[in-house]
Structure 1
Amino acid sequence: MRALNQRLVLDRLREHGEATRPEIATVTGLSKPTVGQALLDLEQHGLVRAIGRRLDRPGRAAVVYRTAPDAGYIVGVDVGRRALHVAVADLDGVVVARVEQPNRSRSGAMLVRTVGESVARALGEAGLTGDDIVVTVVGTPGIPDVEAGTVHRSPNLPGWERRGLLGELMGLLSANGSTVLVENDANLCAVGEHARGAAQGVDVVACLTVGTGIGLGILLGGNLFRGARGAAGEIADLPYGRVPAGVTSHRPGPVEVVAAGDAVVSEARSAGLTVPTAKAVFDLARSGDALAMRVVADEASKLARVVSVVTAVLDPGLIVLAGGIGRNVDLLADPMRRELAETIPLVPDIVGGELGDDAVLVGAIATAMDTAWDLVFERRVLGR
């Protein structure tokens, strides 16, 4: 019962912020002496701290308490084809260190080593050690399969689908006792935008990520929907028509071949433009280049077709466009809406993601927070 009271008080402070003993008693229904004992216990365990006194009310000044977010730390990792992003955050999700480096790995084993080195570097910059980390969340393209120790459908990362490799990564990151979670990057993008970005307060969200690959993160009732085997949102596998000439691939699905970054570049070159990247195509379109504008309109049409399927199944309250291509919402959203209005009865609102390259990391940290507080409480209070 004593531990239950402590947890109730801790959850009150986590959910509503700093408070005094009388305020906590009013909200939780516990007596003031019980709240006082719980606060004393939590303070001794290093989970809460007194931060001052409230002087704005008559009578004796009440002590104000808040959680102690430095009771443990979280690591978020975003494994991308071109770059790795790592962030270290406290238990309240405040980032204390970040590392970004190019992904030049040519094998799965090399990428595992690079992830480990990046995490170690971020911990060093934060002045922490591996023992300080409670939860590590890794975002990756594809479908993580912990039982098989692999990631399915991740063709843009060389060697990343090798059986057993995911187990090696998790073993490396958990060596100091951290709990390791691996999640699809589009799913984490959706969680991040819902927690701190464009989708805050929306119950049914579809986050369409378009860049090197293409994916979809789905939130139903504000909660991440993974499907029966974690493959919900693998829209790269949806059927599509012709494949643009010159697009090479490593088993991506039809939609990814047609609508992701390589396809945009291929279409632009077929139209007579000399461009190195999809970003260059959108920059030219933004400056008024007629050929580039035609390529962008074609891309918007392809994405509208994908959204029409998603809308027919999910009826989302919001479509969030994210990723290197998706963030060009100023050029894509209006033509997508016009085409959708001709094909489906209810057109969802289409907005750009607000978090940019940070979306997956924000989602990873948000995903880790509840688990991290649970683990810290169990270890410090329950001795597990």
Structure 2
Amino acid sequence: MPQVTTAMDRQSPEAPGGAIMGTAGARGSNQSGMRAHNERLVLSLLRQHGALAKTDIARITGLSAQTVSVIMRALEQDGLLARGEPVRGKIGQPSVPMSLAADGAFFLGLKLGRRSADLSLVDFTGKVRATRRRVYRYPTPDQVLAFAAEAVPALCATLPETLRDRVAGMGVAMPFQLWSWVQFIGAPQAAMDAWRSTDIAAELAAVTGLSVTVQNDATAACGAELVFGTGEKPNDFLYFYFGYFIGGGLVINGQLFTGRSGNAAGVGPMLVPGRDGRMRRLLTIASLSSLAAAMDAAGEDSSHLWENPAPWHVSPTILDDWMTEAAEGLAAAIISASALLELGAVLIDGWMPAEIRAEITRRTHASLHRMDLQGIDPPQIREGTIGPEARALGAAAIPLAQRYLLEQGAVLTEG
């Protein structure tokens, strides 16, 4: 599949994976060799702040007005920026706010879960244009490749033919070590062991003709919160995502921290006290799988949990018990994390109805503040802002960030 070429692709050399090398500085440079860095800086600022005039960008970045004009003109010619209506001030020429162009580029985000797969087509502003879903008993490499081979052309066909060459890559959000914890999903160990020898990124690249990057699913969801999330975000926060198993992400100094193996903040195996006082892994009490198990034991159909994130059809008693135990488990995990890290906030999101997320967040806050907090500066407990699409959207954010954004946390802010 042909790919769009932009001014950034024609300038400075890139590091493996599409990340521009040497992006430690957040202010712009007037040297022509830093053109690609400056373009990423402008695009990152527009994503962070919304529409800005050239004078605003020059003031924030320290770039000369002439340099900003050259950059903006090139990005507009590449179709990455859109002009707004002129704004007249008291003196001088009217300013023209520039914003990201929705059709500037498109990205595919594949969420690969233990019960379902979602493939989403996302535009340059982060809006999901279309999604395809496949529900299964458990995932195998062959199932995923077959799904991608069918869904990628179908999604690209939803675009006008003139825009299809602007699909700029695919990100994959999936649990690492899918062959682990098979006893909880009832999958044959032999079938899941096929993942050990599968290079899924290379296989998907061969099927789709796109560049493909893989990231832990909860880490990707956390990345979606960073790139597309709304509201003020602290520089340091822990992120929980409720999927089949609970997962997590960690942001330190405004940057997504993935760790040596890419599996940092994998909160599921954390030991927390259960209601009987015995230590249990967080994933056994604060996961959708534990809710499904309780429903199945009571004779309730849990299959709809994997098909759609809302609405849920769960008896009040089962749901209440699950939310209480999950909140208590999260609170215990937050205490442990806060003893090691000075967290500004904890964000909670997941594959669930918005009202359930709000209630779990409320109960987690209450549980945390019932605990002994001596020596702990408790973080704010807040809802995430992305919702069920966070993993697929986070997957799409991977190629977007690789090609068009500065490293998270490198964007200059005012003040």
TM over 0.5: yes
1:83 and 2:116 correspond: yes
3-state SS of the aligned residue for 2:133? Answer: strand
3-state SS of the aligned residue for 2:152? Answer: helix
AA of the residue aligned to 1:138? V
Measured after TM superposition, the shift of residue 139 of structure 1 is: 1.0
1:124 and 2:138 correspond: no
CA separation of 1:162/1:66 partners in 2, compared to 1, >3 Å: closer, same or farther?
A: same
5+ residue gaps, structure 2, are 1-30, 306-310, 407-415
1:210 corresponds, among 242, 254, 257, to 242
Q: Deviations over 1:324-377 (max 9, x none)?
A: 4696245434554444332443443333333221122332344433322279xx
AA of the residue aligned to 1:119? V
1:191 and 2:223 correspond: yes
Distance 2:234 2:271 in 1: 29
1:140 and 2:140 correspond: no
CA separation of 1:62/1:121 partners in 2, compared to 1, >3 Å: closer, same or farther?
A: same
Q: Is 69-78 or 184-193 further displaced after alignment?
A: 69-78
1:273-292 equivalent positions in 2, closer than 5 A:
273-277=298-302, 283-285=314-316, 289=317
1:171 corresponds, among 192, 198, 205, to 205
Percent of aligned positions that are identical:
19
- Does the CA contact (< 8 Å) of 1:25 and 1:31 recur in 2? yes
- Does the CA contact (< 8 Å) of 1:53 and 1:62 recur in 2? yes
Partner of 1:311: 338
- Does the CA contact (< 8 Å) of 1:213 and 1:256 recur in 2? yes
Q: Is 100-109 or 214-223 further displaced after alignment?
A: 100-109
1:234 and 2:245 correspond: no
1:55-74 equivalent positions in 2, closer than 5 A:
55-56=88-89, 58=91, 70-74=103-107
1:11 and 2:41 correspond: yes
Q: Deviations over 1:269-319 (max 9, x none)?
A: 76xx4323396998422xxx4x66445433433333333333333343222
3-state SS of the aligned residue for 2:263? Answer: coil
- Does the CA contact (< 8 Å) of 2:296 and 2:302 recur in 1? no
AA of the residue aligned to 1:107? T
Partner of 2:371: 342
AA of the residue aligned to 1:82? R
CA separation of 1:331/1:165 partners in 2, compared to 1, >3 Å: closer, same or farther?
A: same
- Does the CA contact (< 8 Å) of 1:191 and 1:363 recur in 2? yes
CA separation of 1:21/1:205 partners in 2, compared to 1, >3 Å: closer, same or farther?
A: closer
- Greater helix share, 1 or 2? 1
- Greater Cα radius of gyration, structure 1 or 2: 1
Partner of 1:380: none
- Does the CA contact (< 8 Å) of 1:6 and 1:39 recur in 2? no
Distance 1:305 1:62 in 2: 52
1:301 and 2:328 correspond: yes
Corresponding residue pairs, total: 351
Measured after TM superposition, the shift of residue 10 of structure 1 is: 6.6
5+ residue gaps, structure 1, are 144-150, 245-252, 376-384
Partner of 1:322: 349
**Which one scores higher on RCO, CA 8 angstroms, separation ≥ 6?**
2
CA separation of 1:373/1:26 partners in 2, compared to 1, >3 Å: closer, same or farther?
A: same
1:370 and 2:401 correspond: yes
AA of the residue aligned to 2:38? L
